[in-house]
Amino acid sequence: LASVRPRDMVGKTRRRLAAEQLAELVAVEKKVKLLSKELKAMVAAGHGGSIINTSSIAGLEGGFGATAYGATKWAVTGMTRTAAKELGKHGIRVNSIHPGAIVTDMITTMLDGGRDEKMIARQPIKRLGTPDDIAEMALFLASDRSSYCTGQQFTVDGGIHG
Protein backbone atom coordinates (compact mmCIF):
# COMPACT_ATOMS: atom_id res chain seq x y z
CA LEU A 1 0.00 0.00 0.00
CA ALA A 2 1.08 3.53 -0.59
CA SER A 3 2.13 5.65 2.34
CA VAL A 4 3.10 9.20 3.18
CA ARG A 5 6.69 9.31 4.39
CA PRO A 6 7.93 12.13 6.65
CA ARG A 7 10.74 13.04 4.25
CA ASP A 8 8.10 13.63 1.53
CA MET A 9 6.52 16.34 3.68
CA VAL A 10 9.60 18.50 4.10
CA GLY A 11 9.18 21.92 2.49
CA LYS A 12 5.63 21.45 1.24
CA THR A 13 2.72 23.70 1.98
CA ARG A 14 -0.25 22.21 3.79
CA ARG A 15 -2.48 22.73 0.74
CA ARG A 16 -0.07 20.94 -1.61
CA LEU A 17 0.48 18.14 0.89
CA ALA A 18 -3.29 17.72 1.40
CA ALA A 19 -3.82 17.44 -2.37
CA GLU A 20 -1.06 14.84 -2.64
CA GLN A 21 -2.50 12.87 0.28
CA LEU A 22 -5.95 12.90 -1.31
CA ALA A 23 -4.51 11.58 -4.58
CA GLU A 24 -2.67 8.91 -2.65
CA LEU A 25 -5.82 7.84 -0.81
CA VAL A 26 -7.58 7.41 -4.15
CA ALA A 27 -4.64 5.30 -5.36
CA VAL A 28 -4.81 3.20 -2.18
CA GLU A 29 -8.53 2.61 -2.73
CA LYS A 30 -7.80 1.34 -6.24
CA LYS A 31 -5.11 -1.00 -4.86
CA VAL A 32 -7.51 -2.33 -2.23
CA LYS A 33 -10.04 -3.16 -4.95
CA LEU A 34 -7.34 -4.98 -6.92
CA LEU A 35 -6.27 -6.87 -3.80
CA SER A 36 -9.88 -7.89 -3.20
CA LYS A 37 -9.90 -9.61 -6.59
CA GLU A 38 -6.65 -11.39 -5.75
CA LEU A 39 -8.04 -12.50 -2.38
CA LYS A 40 -11.11 -13.98 -4.05
CA ALA A 41 -8.82 -16.02 -6.29
CA MET A 42 -6.74 -17.11 -3.27
CA VAL A 43 -9.87 -18.25 -1.42
CA ALA A 44 -11.23 -20.02 -4.50
CA ALA A 45 -7.95 -21.94 -4.94
CA GLY A 46 -8.48 -23.42 -1.47
CA HIS A 47 -4.80 -23.77 -0.58
CA GLY A 48 -4.64 -21.27 2.27
CA GLY A 49 -1.59 -19.09 2.49
CA SER A 50 -0.02 -16.13 4.19
CA ILE A 51 -0.53 -12.43 3.62
CA ILE A 52 2.12 -10.14 5.06
CA ASN A 53 1.44 -6.42 5.32
CA THR A 54 4.20 -3.92 6.01
CA SER A 55 3.53 -0.98 8.29
CA SER A 56 5.70 0.84 10.85
CA ILE A 57 5.96 1.17 14.60
CA ALA A 58 4.00 4.39 13.93
CA GLY A 59 1.08 2.03 13.25
CA LEU A 60 1.25 0.88 16.86
CA GLU A 61 2.08 3.97 18.87
CA GLY A 62 1.74 7.11 16.75
CA GLY A 63 4.17 9.98 16.92
CA PHE A 64 4.46 13.75 17.01
CA GLY A 65 4.26 15.64 13.73
CA ALA A 66 3.31 12.68 11.57
CA THR A 67 -0.48 12.48 11.71
CA ALA A 68 -1.01 11.47 8.08
CA TYR A 69 1.84 8.95 8.15
CA GLY A 70 0.59 7.44 11.41
CA ALA A 71 -2.98 7.25 10.14
CA THR A 72 -1.97 5.21 7.09
CA LYS A 73 0.03 2.86 9.28
CA TRP A 74 -2.84 2.43 11.78
CA ALA A 75 -5.04 1.59 8.79
CA VAL A 76 -2.70 -1.28 7.89
CA THR A 77 -2.97 -2.58 11.46
CA GLY A 78 -6.77 -2.49 11.31
CA MET A 79 -6.90 -4.15 7.90
CA THR A 80 -4.52 -6.87 9.09
CA ARG A 81 -6.59 -7.71 12.16
CA THR A 82 -9.89 -7.65 10.27
CA ALA A 83 -8.62 -9.69 7.33
CA ALA A 84 -7.16 -12.30 9.70
CA LYS A 85 -10.59 -12.85 11.24
CA GLU A 86 -12.32 -12.96 7.87
CA LEU A 87 -9.82 -15.19 6.07
CA GLY A 88 -8.81 -17.61 8.83
CA LYS A 89 -11.62 -19.99 7.97
CA HIS A 90 -10.00 -20.34 4.52
CA GLY A 91 -6.60 -21.22 6.00
CA ILE A 92 -5.21 -17.79 5.10
CA ARG A 93 -3.06 -16.13 7.75
CA VAL A 94 -2.69 -12.34 7.78
CA ASN A 95 0.01 -10.58 9.79
CA SER A 96 1.91 -7.32 9.66
CA ILE A 97 5.52 -6.32 10.10
CA HIS A 98 6.20 -3.04 11.91
CA PRO A 99 9.78 -1.88 11.29
CA GLY A 100 11.48 0.65 13.50
CA ALA A 101 14.65 2.47 12.45
CA ILE A 102 15.81 0.49 9.43
CA VAL A 103 18.71 1.75 7.31
CA THR A 104 16.81 2.84 4.20
CA ASP A 105 16.78 5.98 2.07
CA MET A 106 14.09 7.43 4.34
CA ILE A 107 16.12 7.01 7.52
CA THR A 108 19.37 8.10 5.85
CA THR A 109 17.67 11.30 4.68
CA MET A 110 16.32 11.98 8.17
CA LEU A 111 19.68 11.36 9.89
CA ASP A 112 22.41 13.92 9.42
CA GLY A 113 25.04 15.51 11.58
CA GLY A 114 25.40 12.70 14.10
CA ARG A 115 21.69 12.11 14.64
CA ASP A 116 22.22 8.43 13.81
CA GLU A 117 24.38 8.09 16.93
CA LYS A 118 21.59 9.60 19.04
CA MET A 119 19.08 7.18 17.54
CA ILE A 120 21.36 4.20 18.13
CA ALA A 121 21.91 5.30 21.74
CA ARG A 122 18.12 5.07 22.35
CA GLN A 123 17.94 1.52 20.97
CA PRO A 124 18.08 -1.40 23.44
CA ILE A 125 20.01 -3.27 20.72
CA LYS A 126 22.71 -0.75 19.89
CA ARG A 127 22.37 -0.59 16.12
CA LEU A 128 19.89 0.38 13.45
CA GLY A 129 18.05 -2.37 11.65
CA THR A 130 18.75 -3.54 8.13
CA PRO A 131 16.47 -4.59 5.29
CA ASP A 132 17.70 -8.15 5.94
CA ASP A 133 16.15 -7.98 9.43
CA ILE A 134 12.77 -7.29 7.81
CA ALA A 135 13.31 -9.98 5.18
CA GLU A 136 13.98 -12.60 7.86
CA MET A 137 10.70 -11.75 9.60
CA ALA A 138 8.85 -11.94 6.29
CA LEU A 139 10.38 -15.35 5.58
CA PHE A 140 9.24 -16.58 8.99
CA LEU A 141 5.69 -15.30 8.44
CA ALA A 142 5.52 -16.80 4.95
CA SER A 143 6.65 -20.19 6.21
CA ASP A 144 4.80 -22.96 8.00
CA ARG A 145 6.83 -22.12 11.13
CA SER A 146 4.26 -19.36 11.73
CA SER A 147 1.25 -21.58 11.01
CA TYR A 148 -0.53 -20.60 14.24
CA CYS A 149 0.10 -16.85 13.89
CA THR A 150 -2.58 -14.62 12.41
CA GLY A 151 -3.84 -11.12 13.05
CA GLN A 152 -0.57 -10.19 14.74
CA GLN A 153 1.70 -7.19 14.55
CA PHE A 154 5.38 -8.17 14.56
CA THR A 155 7.80 -5.42 15.48
CA VAL A 156 11.32 -5.45 14.10
CA ASP A 157 12.71 -2.44 15.90
CA GLY A 158 15.60 -3.39 18.15
CA GLY A 159 13.33 -3.27 21.19
CA ILE A 160 12.44 0.43 21.04
CA HIS A 161 8.67 -0.16 20.91
CA GLY A 162 6.94 -1.29 24.04
Residues that are catalytic: 69
DSSP tag of 129: B
Rounded alpha-carbon distances, angstroms, from residue 120 to 20, 55, 102, 111: 32, 21, 11, 11
Rounded alpha-carbon distances, angstroms, from residue 21 to 11, 54, 55, 104, 108: 15, 19, 17, 22, 23
CA dist 44 and 41 (Å) reads 5
